[in-house]
Structure 1
Amino acid sequence: MADHSDVDFETGHSGASTTFPTQCSTLRKNGFVVLKKHPCKIVDMSTSKTGKHGHAKVHLVGIDIFTSKKYEDICPSTHNMDVPNIKRSDYQLIGIQDGYLTLLSEAGEVREDLKLPESDLGKDMSTRFANGEELAVTVISAMGEECAIAIKQMSK
């Protein structure tokens, strides 16, 4: 039996990968894909016909889900592309301090590590919270990054 006394199991993680492979030809518009190491939403895609020497090629255009930057890539339809594992969570907004959100999860856990978005969403969030609205914040996480992407009035 192997001796694992030199292995530190305390730093292990659940083993859930940040991405999973999917054949390029099965990707669809409004789906997600990793382009140039960025998790993107597919906004346009087209497939060229098979050439004399090979496979049909798929041209993908995606928008980074965190920065809204545009990325493009071309991939043979039979090859695999990485698709990010995306997790959505809803939190109640209970405070905004020093550019960070104070959020309450459904399980009652408080987190204060998420930055207030620097976009119009962040301005809207600040204004509505200052006006006393009870807001729910939708947070997406993928590939080790996360950000607030939407707010809505909480139902009373």
Structure 2
Amino acid sequence: MSDEENFYQGEAGSSFTYPMQAGNIKKNGYAMLRGFPCKVTEMTTCQAGKHGHAKATIIGVDIFTGRKYEDYCPTSHNMEIPFVKKQEYQLMNIDDDNYLTLLLENGETKEDLKLPDDQLQIVEKLRSDFESQKDILISTIQAMGQEKIISYREIVN
């Protein structure tokens, strides 16, 4: 191999999920239910019958769409758990296509996040606060290669 070849590296731990025993999943945690990243709203277990394992019933809400999912799994088997990351960015601009310009901690800008279409009240209030020259922090949630705005707040000096 020559020295001229460039190799690009991904983030360390580039997997979107990690395994965890179903019996160890807790309420208000996260789990992949039916292939979707969900926040667990209910977790119940039933004892082993004469032909099998103790089973867990896990009910959760998709963190991006709000849709409810339910899944069953033996408590001793592994389930996939998504890596979920919450971030805050300072809002710099909102363009005409509803894309935000956000300031990262390192001083660079991020311009690939769009205002949510399904939260019109929050969007209108955010636009109003931004046009009133308020300093705003945007809170986002990231999982499975997706990112969504979950809330915002005014920076109080």
1:106 is aligned to 2:120: no
Rounded Cα–Cα distance in structure 2 between residues aligned with 1:48 and 1:9 = 54
Deviation of the 1:9 alpha carbon = 7.2
The equivalent residue for 2:88 is 90
The equivalent residue for 2:48 is 50
Deviation of the 1:134 alpha carbon = 1.0
The equivalent residue for 1:26 is 24
Rounded Cα–Cα distance in structure 1 between residues aligned with 2:46 and 2:123 = 41
Deviation of the 1:15 alpha carbon = 4.3
The equivalent residue for 1:117 is 116
CA-based RMSD: 1.7
Q: Which amino acid aligns with 2:11?
A: S
Deviation of the 1:11 alpha carbon = 4.7
Deviation of the 1:124 alpha carbon = 2.3
The equivalent residue for 1:76 is 74
The equivalent residue for 1:150 is 151
Q: Which runs of 5+ in 1 are unaligned?
A: none
SS of the aligned residue for 2:7 comes to helix
The equivalent residue for 1:14 is 11
TM-score, normalising length: structure 1? 0.89
Q: Which runs of 5+ in 2 are unaligned?
A: none
Rounded Cα–Cα distance in structure 1 between residues aligned with 2:56 and 2:106 = 43
Q: Which amino acid aligns with 2:86?
A: R
Once the two structures are superposed, residues 57-84 of structure 1 have per-residue CA deviations (whole angstroms, 9 ceiling, x without a partner) of 1111111111111111001100101111
SS of the aligned residue for 1:13 comes to coil
Deviation of the 1:87 alpha carbon = 1.3
Q: Which amino acid aligns with 2:144?
A: M
The equivalent residue for 1:130 is 131
Range that drifts further, 71-80 or 122-131: 122-131
Deviation of the 1:123 alpha carbon = 2.5
Rounded Cα–Cα distance in structure 2 between residues aligned with 1:65 and 1:88 = 12
1:139 is aligned to 2:136: no
Rounded Cα–Cα distance in structure 1 between residues aligned with 2:50 and 2:27 = 27
Rounded Cα–Cα distance in structure 2 between residues aligned with 1:80 and 1:145 = 24
TM-score, normalising length: structure 2? 0.89
Q: Check 1:12–1:152 CA distance in 2 against 1; reply closer, same or farther (3 A cut).
A: same
Deviation of the 1:129 alpha carbon = 1.2
Q: Identity over aligned residues, as a percent?
A: 42
How many pairs align? 151
